[in-house]
Amino acid sequence: MSTGRSATPMGPAELVQAAAMARRFYLEGKSKIQIAEEFGVSRFKVARVLETALERDLVRIEIRVPAELDAERSDALRARYGLRHAVVVESPADAADDAPDPENLGEVAADLLGELVNEGDVLGLAWGRSTIHMAAALHRLPPCTVVQLTGVYDAGTAERGSVEAVRRAAQVSGGEAHPIYAPMLLPDSATAAALRGQTGIARAFEYFDKVTVAAVSIGSWAPGISTVYDMLSEEERAHYASLGAAAEMSAHLFDADGRRIGRDLGERCITVEADRLRRIPEVVAIAGGLRKAAAIGAVLRSGLVTSLVTDTAAADYLLLETGPGPRPALDRTDPDGA
């Protein structure tokens, strides 16, 4: 009657009993003790019958998630880097190695924020194309305050960039919005300090220590993959490259080992400080694509992020990475002291 792994066939009575017990356990949620009492057998007998039902294919257990999510890679990535959450989505079939982040990363990240943000939280959004896509895809958020964590790439694009992302998130949540109407990068530290003292920007900075969930993007130290790289002069790019710049996140630079470098750059930027970012309970990085994979690994080793939304192309690289060993992100180590 069965061609299962055991050589001894089950008789009809055994099959009927096994099917009944399996139905009670898997579909009706009854315990093994309850089933044992109903059938007048020991709970050890029930356990053996349920095990046999699995071996004989009387019961088949399937774990299903939406087709675009890769549960196996997600769990492996979470475990390898000590993340609180890792969500891996399928890369587009026709994506080239130099393709930008898949737009569906933002959609998945929007759903993740809907899970992570609670009523009364303060949500921080940093500049990045992925965070902008995420904000556009938001459709549910509990009442919360939304604050901008960085200046904008170009003040002239604020209406369709970081400022609009903050407004959109606040609109969905019904909470307050605290945007920053200032460029991310300034000519010198004195200009940046003066801007930080302006009323509106200072008010946003006051919320940085209250942020409970943050969404950030990651860039590689290369043209078109880091907005900060694109804003600098050739001489400045070469200088930070000579220091080992491998990744950029919210205007903070990291080498391949996750150590923060080029701290003088941060003095010229309107952005959340690295130490404040490290104290935020939940920092979700949104980045994917093979061209960003090494940079993602560097930022994960920095200890500044707790969760990651990425794609299969980047995940495969990160899971096979042979460089410096991953450091649990949940340790929240200080990248300046690493």
Residues in the chain: 338
Is it the case that residue 65 has pLDDT exceeding 70?
no
β-bridge mates for residue 310, sequence order: 88
Mean pLDDT of 259-263: 91
Mean pLDDT of 56-60: 84
Angle at 236 between CA 255 and CA 246, to 5 degrees: 20
Query: Which residues lie closer than 8 Å to 219 by C-beta, 6 or more apart?
Result: 128, 225, 226, 227, 228, 229, 247, 248, 249, 287, 292, 295
Kindly report, residue by residue over 150-161, the tens digit of the pLDDT.
998 764 444 457
Is it the case that residue 58 has pLDDT exceeding 50?
yes
- Give the model's pLDDT for residue 327: 63
Distances (CA, A) of 118 to 113, 135, 282: 9, 17, 12
Closest CA to 111 of 50, 171, 66: 66
Distance of CA 221 to the CA centre of its chain: 20
Half-sphere exposure of 7 (CA within 13 A, CB side): 0
Count of C-beta atoms within a 10 Å radius of residue 139: 9
Helix, strand and coil in the chain, % to nearest 5: 45, 15, 40
The rounded distance, in Å, linking the Cα atoms of 277 and 215 is 11
Kindly report, residue by residue over 77-133, the tens digit of the pLDDT.
998 898 999 999 988 765 555 656 677 898 899 999 999 999 999 999 998 888 888
* Residues above pLDDT 70, as percent of the chain: 86
Residues 33, 39, 45, 48: what is their CA dihedral angle, to the nearest 10 degrees? Answer: -90
Is it the case that residue 14 has pLDDT exceeding 70?
yes
Q: Which is more confident, 5 or 114?
A: 114
Spatial contact of 280 and 116, defined as CB atoms under 8 Å apart: no
DSSP, res 337: -
Kindly report, residue by residue over 128-144, the tens digit of the pLDDT.
888 888 999 999 999 99
SS3 278: helix
Q: To the nearest whole number, what is the mean pLDDT of the chain?
A: 86
Is it the case that residue 4 has pLDDT exceeding 60?
no
Tell the burial category of 4 from Cβ atoms under 10 Å away from its Cβ (0-12, 13-18, 19+). middle
- Give the model's pLDDT for residue 152: 85
C-alpha R_g of the chain: 25
Closest CA to 245 of 224, 274, 222: 222
Instruction: List helix spans (H) across 178-325.
Output: 189-196, 199-206, 227-231, 234-242, 263-267, 274-279, 293-302, 312-320
Residues 311, 308, 267, 151: what is their CA dihedral angle, to the nearest 10 degrees? Answer: 70
Half-sphere exposure of 42 (CA within 13 A, CB side): 3
Q: What is the pTM of this model?
A: 0.78
SS3 288: coil
